[in-house]
A and B are shown apart, each in its own frame.
Chain A
């Protein structure tokens, strides 16, 4: 069974640009969450999608957005990139979210220059 796949693995963008990251969950999983990991702030929850609806949202500015498609694949978008957005972005999928194990992808390493 394939794991969670995130693309691309590495990305370099310039301040002010926007970026879209992709996450393909494990087959059958309907919940997809996104996290940001930085050395200073650690691992922080961005948002969770379930059946194409955003179910929970963390404390991040509106520049961070996401969506989920009918096949459960998810994308997250960051607009007007700032240097502080440089981070490892992780996606986690689970069967239904509540009380089920979350499986993480390898992440996308975003560097903003």
Chain B
């Protein structure tokens, strides 16, 4: 059984600070996705990383896929209250719309 362990589980920071959250596994993945879920909403796809060592930037968010394609990180620069939410990594298990989600990191950015 594969496991996507995210750390930290909870993170509370002040506006303007930087942070990194991690998604780790012992399995190798062909691709990995990051989602953000806000209260009362479904998850929204932020990015998909495919190549080992790949780095993708989305405004203040930087995503990295590990060289061995077993882990990934999400770095947020100068966090804002609007970044508050549950961050989830996920892998597509069978090539279909069948996602296996990580344990999640709940981020709170305090104004």
B-binding residues in A (CB < 8 A) = 4, 31-33, 35, 42-45, 48, 50, 55-56, 58, 90, 92-94, 97-107
Beta-carbon contact of A98 and B99 below 8 Å: no
Beta-carbon contact of A106 and B99 below 8 Å: no
Q: Which 10 A-B pairs have the closest CB atoms?
A: A104-B42, A97-B96, A43-B101, A97-B97, A98-B95, A31-B97, A56-B98, A33-B97, A94-B97, A90-B42
Beta-carbon contact of A98 and B96 below 8 Å: yes
CA distance A98 to B104 in the complex (A): 23
Interfacial chain A residues near B90, Cβ < 8 Å: 43
Instruction: Given the known inter-chain contacts A43-B43, A101-B45, please indicate yes or no for A48 contacting B98, CB distance below 8 A.
Output: yes
Beta-carbon contact of B42 and A45 below 8 Å: no
Beta-carbon contact of A42 and B101 below 8 Å: yes
Task: Tell which of A4, A56, A58 touches B42, judged by Cβ atoms closer than 8 Å.
Answer: A4
Inter-chain contact total with CB atoms closer than 8 Å:
70
| Nearest neighbor of B40 in chain A, beta-carbon distance | A106
A-binding residues in B (CB < 8 A) = 40-45, 48, 88, 90, 92-104
Instruction: Given the known inter-chain contacts A42-B104, A43-B88, please indicate yes or no for A92 contacting B44, CB distance below 8 A.
Output: no
Most buried by A among B97, B98, B100: B97
| 19 further contact pairs, Cβ within 8 A, besides A33-B99, A43-B43 | A32-B97, A42-B103, A42-B104, A43-B99, A43-B101, A45-B98, A48-B97, A55-B96, A55-B98, A56-B93, A92-B42, A99-B95, A100-B97, A102-B45, A104-B43, A104-B44, A106-B40, A107-B41, A107-B42
| Nearest neighbor of A32 in chain B, beta-carbon distance | B97
